[in-house]
Amino acid sequence: MSKKLLVVEDSRPIARVIKQIGEALGYQVTLATSLAEVEALLQGGNNNFFAATIDYALPDANDGEAISCVLSHGIPSVVLTGKMDEATRQKILSYPVIDYIPKENSQAFLYLKRILHWQLSNQGNGILVVDDSLSARNHVVELLKRRNFNVYVAENGQLALDVIQQHSDIKMVITDLEMPVMDGIALTNELRKIYSRDQLAIIGISGANNGMHSARFIKNGADDFLRKPFCPEEFYCRITQNIENLSNIEQIQKAANTDYLTEIPNRRAFIRDGQNIIAENINNKMAYGLAMLDIDYFKQVNDNYGHDAGDHTLKVLSLYLRKHFGTGMIARTGGEEFAILLAGLDEDQLYNRLDDFRRSISVAQISFEQQHINLSVSIGVIFNSDEALAKQMSLADGALYYAKENGRNQVCIVGALEDS
């Protein structure tokens, strides 16, 4: 269900731009052009808005009165203002707002888009705050909760190590320097033994007036540093920048390990993760099998129906693979070839599972632009091998080609070929 965004803005062009930004992010947008309209909207407990953007100066509320009205209903809010004087800035920051944005140029709307995006996304991001001072800890927690982060706390570095092991959603640690038991530098060092910069961002903070502390944090693996007391604007800029960096890295890694067409893992991901899965199965003495699957006469699909139909066929087959082998690992390893890694089955069960899939594909029809495409697949399998993954894939490929050469539309197991 879409989150509701309240846009309080008397300028129609600006309201239209903010509405477009909100709707592009998936918000359901409600517009109000005056304080009176806001009050009417929020009467009777109609305050189920996820967030709000508020123009500082309205025709009937020229000095930020709409801010306190919206905040009194518990709606997280971003303030936009054309006033740039220090008194206005300080007044806005005296309210517990998400942020404020000067209406200087088009960058203001790009920044607003980032904020509204992260208000939605931050619900999946955890941040661990480590500080032995209760007041300092609570101040940081309150700032983070305005931005919808999941917030966890610890009084020292040793407790922080325990907390982070318990919560897999933690993407960032904000740690003070001077703490009992384990200080911030030691914590940073310990965290970097476990988590790379791609997995976890670390921000060091300190109130000590010593320029060496920032360098010490960075040299021990921190990504950033803040000196206390810090203003909320700088705090939010650094938090957002570090979270965005992690998100960008995650997207790049996902793109590098996902097949662009079918959106299932690619060969690179299969080799990376498959080696670990096989090692785990061997250590746990769990039976497993690796299969290589290829669409029979796929070139004819492209020739007879067109390459768009061929792409559609690969997408549909990937959906079938996901549905049929949901507990295993599947990947598109190239062209019309796929790899499947299944565990917990004996040889007969493995064969039957793969053959059931083969038979279901042979009787299915794939529809594309009023055309019906018939398919069959050939599958080569290796069972419970202790060979390296690359060697297993090569052996399974050999069984696959045997299936192709001997009539297609069948499953061949490496061991069975050797016995015959």
3-state secondary structure the chain: CCCEEEEECCCHHHHHHHHHHHHHCCCEEEEECCHHHHHHHHHHHCCCCCEEEEECCECCECCCHHHHHHHCCCCCEEEEECCCCHHHHHHHHCCCCCEEEECCCCHHHHHHHHHHHHHHHHHHCEEEEECCCHHHHHHHHHHHHHCCCEEEEECCHHHHHHHHHHCCCEEEEEEECCCCCCCHHHHHHHHHHHCCCCCCEEEEEECCCCCHHHHHHHHCCCCEEEECCCCHHHHHHHHHHHHHHHHHHHHHHHHHHECCCCCCEEHHHHHHHHHHHHHHHHHCCCCEEEEEEEECCHHHHHHHHCHHHHHHHHHHHHHHHHHHCCCCEEEEEECCEEEEEEECCCHHHHHHHHHHHHHHHHHCEEEECCEEEECCEEEEEEECCCCCHHHHHHHHHHHHHHHHHCCCCCEEEHHHHHHC
Q: Average the pLDDT over each of 45-59, 161-175, 258-272 and give the range with the smallest value.
A: 45-59
133 and 176 in contact (C-beta within 8 Å)? yes
Give the model's pLDDT for residue 413.
93
CATH fold of 125-252 reads Rossmann fold (3.40.50)
CB 157 within 8 A of CB 130: yes
pLDDT of residue 420: 44
What values do phi and psi take at 84, rounded to 5? Answer: -115, 10
Mean per-residue pLDDT, 274-287: 91
pLDDT of 182-224, one tens digit each?
Answer: 999 999 999 999 999 999 999 999 987 777 888 899 999 999 9
pLDDT score, position 136: 93
Residue 209 has what pLDDT?
A: 75
Q: CA angle 411-415-416, nearest 5°? A: 55
CATH code 3.40.50.2300 for 4-119: yes
Q: Which of the residue ranges 80-89, 162-171, 238-247 would you say has the lowest mean pLDDT?
A: 80-89
The reported pLDDT for the residue numbered 342 is 94
- Per-residue pLDDT of 347-358, as tens digits, reads 999 999 999 999
* pLDDT (0 to 100) of residue 203: 97
Instruction: Give per-residue pLDDT as tens, 105-159.
Output: 778 999 999 999 999 999 889 999 999 999 999 999 999 999 999 999 999 999 9
Q: Taking residues 402-417, what's their average pLDDT?
A: 86
Fold identical between 4-119 and 125-252?
yes
Q: What is the pLDDT of residue 104?
A: 77
Q: Domain residues of the chain, as ranges?
A: 4-119, 125-252, 267-419
What does the pLDDT average to over 98-102?
91
pLDDT digits (tens, 9 = 90+) for 292-343: 999 999 999 999 999 999 999 999 999 999 999 988 999 999 999 999 999 9
Percent over 70 (pLDDT), the chain: 98
For domain 267-419, give its CATH number from 3.40.50.1980, 3.40.50.300, 3.30.70.270, 3.20.20.120: 3.30.70.270
Residue 46 tokens, joined: 């109609």
User: How many residues make up the chain in this entry?
Assistant: 420
What average pLDDT does the chain have?
92
pLDDT of residue 386: 87
Residue 262 has pLDDT above 70, yes or no: yes
pLDDT at residue 418 tops 70: no
Q: What pLDDT score was predicted for residue 415?
A: 65
Determine the pLDDT at residue 292: 97
